[in-house]
Amino acid sequence: MSILNNKTFRDILSQFIVVTALVLFIWHIVGNLQHNIEVRGITTGFAFFGDKAGFGISESPISYSEDSTYFRAFLVGLTNTVYVSFVGIFFASILGVIIGVGRLSKNFLISKLSLLYVEFFRNIPLLLQILFWYNIVLAALPGPRQSIALWANCFLNNRGFYIPKPIFGTSFEYVVLAFVVAIGLVVFLSKWATKRFEETGKDMLVWPWAILILVTIPLVVFNLLGSPLSFDYPALRGFNFRGGMSYSPEFLALAFALSVYTASLIAEAVRSGIEAVAKGQKEAAASLGLTSYQSLKLVVLPQAIRIAIPPILGQYLNLIKNSSLATAIGYPEIVTVFSGTVLNQTGQAIEIIAVTMAVYLTISLFVSLILNIVNKKLAIKER
Amino acid sequence: MAVYEEKSARPAPINTNGAIYWLKENLFATPLDIAITFLILFVLFQVVPPFLNWTIFDASFLGSTKADATGSGANWIFVKDKISMFMYGFYPQDQLFRLQILVGVTLVEIVLFKYIAKTIKQKIFVFVLYPIVAFILIKGGMFGLVEVPTNKWGGLLLTLVISFVGIVLSIPIGIILAFGRQSNLPVIKNLSVVYIEFIRGVPLITMLFMGSVLLPLFFQEGVELNKLLRALIVITMVESAFVSEAIRGGLQAIPKGQYEAADSLGLSYWQKMILVILPQALKVAIPNLVGISIELFKDTSLVMIIGLFDLLSMVHLTSNDSHWLGMETEGYVFVTFIYLIFCYGMSRYSMILEKRFNTDHR
């Protein structure tokens, strides 16, 4: 019997061949790379991170100026990526759940309009949507002098969206503390209600009480401390608004397009999650005499959530990755700032693209870590 | 003692069919429903008529210049004038007949593939023949056809070329990667997992940047890679990872007994995978594969960021024409319409396939 017919030997041999081929391939590429780097005189290494950036960034949640380092610019890009992703995820979730539930509504108009929404927005490239909102809708807004005035001193014009900026007084932290205490009380209350329900069978609606607690306690503390919160209102001075907080058209277009697009995908996840709950479960709940609200809360939703959460988290990850399309309209997130401006200035493509990819890989590893934890928590506990 | 009392008959149920019943059940079931229905109707009346007026009733269709526009709505003369840009990009006007022939060839191919070719071998032959004929027709440079360099390709043509090449090349690579990920050999398994997870964790745009900036550095000096080729390499790399995940889903749906049965028949690894497992796995994976194709079709729009002139980039290019300034909205609406037709068509087709393949013998 030849040694070639030995399974262990063959396994080792085939793996050996693959590894050798891969090593040769990488060796070849790295050789070419080194040669090309020498020929073109590209500098290498990460020393450029400490150099002065020398370019401005239009919007930045952290302090940044032209004198800051490239590393600071990198951080600005990263915070902007995280910021716009959070905003996008927040609105996409709300909109997605509403539309996903709307798909199952008995009302003909609601379900058909939800279907139309899903089929329309998920079948158009996200980049097209971003460009449309940015180049057509936001560009068509009036100039600062003819701003559209919304409630509470908010203004919308083609330079952005202006809202009052809260200025927190010195004792405002006590209000925050009161809020934390209120959250603690609500948690305690819901635990107590669950316990009482299990012992005596008396059910109670927790959420009206929860809202009452969450609103009154901080509000009372706030008023006792003499309202330690004021607003800096945006006002028209000269040709533009001064004061307040503003969101640039780039941010608005990106956040809006990301939310609207991802909402259509989240809606599908929500719908299929709810539909995946076996009909027998609802019938069983009904035959136990549960009301439709109880059946939804105690039987359908716990099972639907288990099915819907993994695809929804996957969509969150996609949204974070899709925020890189900002580069098409120039919102200064990590790809625009770092793989764009910094790369053009330093020419160190290898390091910069590697770092950018590493950032996204870290984020996606982080999200899959959360996904695993959630999956473990939600897993069916079999007897 | 109970006394029998005749009770008067209850009224007959109101009719449970017909328009009135339907309206009551579907639109006005509860007070909340009534409120929502009226709210939606109100919004629809605010939105739909102006939209229809803009796109159809007040739009201008006839003429050839911007000045010919008569209505206050959309100016579709712009799209009519620029249609060859939207469809073919900068493809030379005198060579357009080749692309029109290609459309005919495509239809003939579909008929051949679906109705004429009977055996698997014939089908494979027809399937392989198509890209060769298409490449010769588009690129030229042989059989007396003038060569059209790739930087002249654009519009819907380029979008379709990238999508087609991307999906066709990534299916075999994706199958190999999926096999690799399911393999018992630790080295091969881990290499596949690292590749797939790396690609899936990184946005396509950074991969495209890598393709346009780094890829030339990986090749020997003197090797010229045009932009389209770089984009195609990157897109195939990325799509393979996604395709492999779809196929892995199919592989996981195959009962273990199928593997064991193939083993007990004495089939080799490749015989087992290709003859027994893959046909079943592909059947399960097809809806997801179509989903990936739709994603890819939409994602090809990103190549405009690295300077290729795909369908989406044509909006900007055509509306920058000094004769047609300010026509961006029409351009976006038209391009949206094309994307919708293709993506919605593909998703419908996938539903048909799903039904046809649903033998449901599990």
> Are B266 and B197 a contacting pair, CB within 8 Å?
no
pLDDT at residue number A360: 93
Report whether B340 contacts A124 (CB < 8 A).
yes
Task: Say which DSSP state A69 is in.
Answer: B
Residue B362's pLDDT band (cuts 50, 70, 90): very low
Q: How many CB atoms lie within 10 A of CB B313?
A: 23
Instruction: Please tell me which residue, A304 or B321, carries the higher pLDDT value.
Output: A304
Q: Where are the domains of chain A?
A: 70-146+249-378
Residue A171 burial (C-beta neighbours within 10 Å; 0-12, 13-18, 19+) = middle
CA-CA distance, A310 to A104, in Å (whole number)?
20
A339 vs B contacts (CB less than 8 Å): 206, 209
Q: What tokens does A75 get?
A: 């951080």
Taking an 8 Å cut-off on Cβ atoms, the answer to whether B339 and A131 are in contact is no
pLDDT tens sequence across B92-146: 877 777 888 888 888 888 888 878 777 888 888 878 888 887 888 887 777 777 7
Q: Mutating which of B39, B213, B217 best tests the A interface, going by the most A Cβ atoms within 10 A?
A: B217
Instruction: Tell whether the model's pLDDT for residue B202 goes beyond 80.
Output: yes
DSSP per residue over A57-107, as a string?
A: -S--SS---TTSBHHHHHHHHHHHHHHHHHHHHHHHHHHHHHHHHHHT-SS
B187 has a chain A CB within 8 A of its CB: yes
The reported pTM is: 0.86
Helices (H), chain B: 19-26, 31-52, 76-81, 83-88, 96-111, 120-139, 155-182, 186-201, 204-213, 215-218, 227-252, 256-264, 269-271, 278-299, 313-319, 328-357
Beta strand pairing status for A235-237 and A154-157? unpaired
Give the mutation candidate from A28, A37, A39, A124 for the B interface (greatest B CB count, under 10 A).
A124
Q: If you count DSSP H runs as helices and E runs as strands, how many of each does chain A have, helices first?
A: 13, 8
Q: Give the torsion through C-alpha atoms of B56, B62, B66, B67, to 10 deg.
A: -110
| Mean pLDDT in residue range A57-84 | 86
What's the DSSP call for residue A251?
A: H
What is the C-alpha to C-alpha distance for residues A262 and A270, in angstroms, rounded to an integer?
12
Length of chain A in terms of residues written: 383
Residue A382 DSSP symbol? -
Phi-psi label, residue A233: left if phi above 0, alpha if psi -120 to 50, beta otherwise: beta
Q: Who among A33, A120, A126 is closest to B218 (CB)? A: A33
Tell me the per-residue pLDDT of B206-250, one tens digit each, with 9 for 90 and over: 999 888 888 888 887 777 778 888 899 999 999 999 999 889 888
- CB-nearest partner of B335 from A36, A128, A327: A128
Contact A142, A159 (CB under 8 A): no
pLDDT in tens, A120-130: 999 999 999 99
Judge contact between A257 and A133, C-beta under 8 A: yes
Q: Is the pLDDT at B327 greater than 60, yes or no?
A: yes
- Which DSSP state fits B27? T
Please state, in angstroms and rounded to a whole number, the distance separating the CA atoms of residues B38 and B41: 5
B173 touches chain A (CB under 8 A): no
Q: Which of residues 29-48 of B touch A (CB under 8 A)?
A: 29, 33, 36-37, 40-41
Which of 51-90 (B) contact A at CB < 8 A? none
- A166: helix, strand or coil: strand
Q: Shortest Cα distance from B313 to chain A (angstroms)?
A: 9
Beta carbons within 8 Å of B128's beta carbon, 6+ residues apart: none
pLDDT band at A132 (very low <50, low <70, confident <90, very high): very high
As a whole number, mean pLDDT of residues A2-19 equals: 83
Provide ipTM, 2 decimals. Answer: 0.86
- The CA-based angle B130-B155-B327, given to 5 degrees, is 155
* Rg from Cα positions in chain A: 27
Which of B195, B159, B177 has its CA nearest to residue B296?
B159
Interface test with B, best of A13, A81, A128, A331 (most B CBs within 10 A): A128
Asked if the Cβ–Cβ distance from A325 to B200 is below 8 Å, we say no
The whole-number pLDDT of residue B236 equals 93
- Residue A20 banded pLDDT, cuts 50, 70, 90: very high
Q: Give the integer Cα–Cα distance in Å for B222 and A263.
A: 47
Mean pLDDT of A46-72: 81
Identify the CATH assignment for A70-146+249-378 out of 3.40.1390.30, 1.10.3720.10, 1.20.59.10, 3.30.70.100: 1.10.3720.10
Q: What is the pLDDT of residues B16-70, one digit of tens each?
A: 767 777 887 777 878 888 888 889 899 999 989 888 888 888 877 777 777 777 7
Q: Give the orientation angle of helix A207-224 with respect to helix A172-200, to 10 degrees.
A: 160
If you average pLDDT over each of A25-29, A170-174, A219-223, B95-99, which comes out highest? A25-29
Taking an 8 Å cut-off on Cβ atoms, the answer to whether A35 and B221 are in contact is yes
Interface of B with A in 242-301 (CB under 8 A): 294, 298-299, 301
Burial class (CB in 10 A: 0-12, 13-18, 19+), B115: exposed
Domains and CATH numbers, chain B: 23-49 (no CATH), 149-357 (1.10.3720.10)
Q: Which of A107, A126, A321 sits opposite B26 (nearest CB)?
A: A107
Q: How far is the C-alpha of B93 from the C-alpha of B85, rounded, in Å?
A: 10
Please state whether A226 falls in left (phi above 0), alpha (psi between -120 and 50) or beta: left
Looking at beta carbons, which residues of chain B come within 8 Å of A22? 191
Q: Please answer yes or no on whether A126 and B294 come within 8 Å at the CB atom.
A: no
Is the Cβ pair B343, A37 closer than 8 Å?
no
- How far apart, in whole angstroms, are the C-alpha atoms of residue B22 and residue B28? 9
Partner A contacted by B194 (CB < 8 A) = no
Mean pLDDT for the stretch of residues B272-296: 87
B205–chain A Cβ distance below 8 A for any pair: yes
Distance of alpha carbon A277 from alpha carbon B109, whole angstroms:
44
Q: Whose structure tokens read 């019938």?
A: A283
- Cβ atoms B215, B254 nearer than 8 A: no
